[in-house]
Amino acid sequence: MNAAQSKKKVTRIPLSRERVVGMARRMILEEGHEALSLRRLARRLDVTAAALYAYVDDKQDVLRAVADAEYQKRAKKYEEIRTKDPLKKLLLISRTYVEEAQESPELFQLSILFPPIGIRDAGKDEAEVGQRTFDIASEAVKQAMDEGHLRKGDVYKTSIAIWSAVHGIASFIIQGAGFVEGMEKELVDKVVKNLLRGLGGPKSASK
């Protein structure tokens, strides 16, 4: 048996869009999205940079794909919240949002680059997939208004007000606020409950 025959046969995993995006996600978790480049991504996959273009358009396409996947996971978590109380649902959605930011700050910061299309921000790309996460919260806001828990008003503007407050908490925490364990949850609950109380409708006023 010659040397070539004695070498172990190396099985190369076929390249695919799913594999490219999965590796990009891993690299973002390790170093943040700013450090990602197609050249470095290709090296990690042991292929040429040119080979990636059969599966992705450019770096922006890769980042959007990773963000879309994270939005899908977030929407699933929101949909798994089982409660008929819209105010409780909004509180649980808020907690989930902040917990995700704490668990994966790099991916959380990436999602900010692709906000849901319902959150208008000139100069940024918008995520159609991420829209479902915003819609779930907006549906709870509308239900709360219909049932008298919140004052009747513009569902979109009220949803934005709540999201802005929760997003601010999440951003503050991942910047290294240094809270003692458990304080983050208390902060979320206090801010959201006070905000909802301030937006209270006839049913909440009668309590």
30 & 122 share domain: no
Give the integer Cα–Cα distance in Å for 108 and 104.
6
Amino acid type, 103: E
Looking at residue 128, its pLDDT comes to 81
Residues 96 and 169 in one domain: yes
Query: Based on the structure, what is the number of domains in the chain?
Result: 2
Tokens of 114: 């692709």
Question: What is the per-residue pLDDT for 58?
Answer: 96
Say if 5 falls within a structural domain: no
Q: Is residue 3 part of a domain?
A: no
199 located within any domain: yes
Assess whether 134 and 165 both reside in one domain: yes
- Mean pLDDT per block of 10 residues along the chain (207 residues) reads 49 86 97 95 95 96 95 95 96 95 92 80 65 94 97 94 93 76 83 93 66
Asked if 89 and 185 sit in the same domain, the reply is: yes
Q: Distance between CA 93 and CA 140 in Å, rounded?
A: 10
CA atoms within 13 A on the CB side of 122: 0
* Domain shared by 125 and 100, yes or no: yes
- Which residue range forms the structural domain that includes residue 42? 14-56
One domain, residues 173 and 74: yes
Whether 50 and 76 map to the same domain: the answer is no
Tell me if 102 is assigned to some domain: yes
Say yes or no: 120 and 150 in one domain: yes
The model carries a pTM of 0.84
